[in-house]
Amino acid sequence: MDSMMMDMMKTMPADKMMGMDMMAMQECIEACSMTAMAATMCADSDMGMDMAKCSSMCMNMMDVATTTMRMMMRPMGMDMMSMRAMLMACMEMGKACSAECMMHAEMDEHCRMCAKACDAMVMACEKLMNSMAMA
């Protein structure tokens, strides 16, 4: 993550974050941003009859990752139940999108990268979820 963005994260009101590990959240924001970009490009590149499902899932992934990322960046309205449910949705979408993209990973570089970004994001979401559970 860019150093400027790290400075912005530091200004987040810790008392609103309900015990979430700020380092885990920062990594999760980064992973969501990466996945949103990878999925945007993958959805666009999918050509041919067999790729309609992949393209559609990547469009969903792009929107889900962007929404999850934005929610983490809004400490003022942080609500534990909603944040947890959104992280769950992001993980489910990440798993489904990765599984689909992996099917085309050998012939399509976008799919391979998108699957990789999804996998890293699912792990980052899980890590953040665990830090919330312990809080």
Q: Which of 18, 19, 23, 74 binds a copy of itself (CB under 8 A)?
A: 74
Q: How many CB atoms lie within 10 A of CB 133?
A: 9
Question: Is 128 within 8 Å of 28 (Cβ atoms)?
Answer: yes
Work out whether 79 is an interface residue with a copy of itself (CB under 8 A).
Answer: yes
Which region among 17-25, 86-94, 122-130 touches a copy of itself (by CB under 8 A)? Answer: 86-94
Residue-wise burial string across 105-127, b where 16 or more C-beta atoms lie within 10 A, e elsewhere: beebebbbbbbbbbbbbbebbeb
- Any idea how long the chain is? 135
Q: Where along the sequence are the contacts to a copy of itself (CB under 8 A)?
A: 2, 4-5, 7-8, 11-12, 29, 33-34, 37-38, 40-41, 43-49, 52-60, 62-64, 66-67, 69-71, 73-79, 81-82, 84-86, 88-89, 91-93, 95-96, 100, 109-110, 113, 116-117
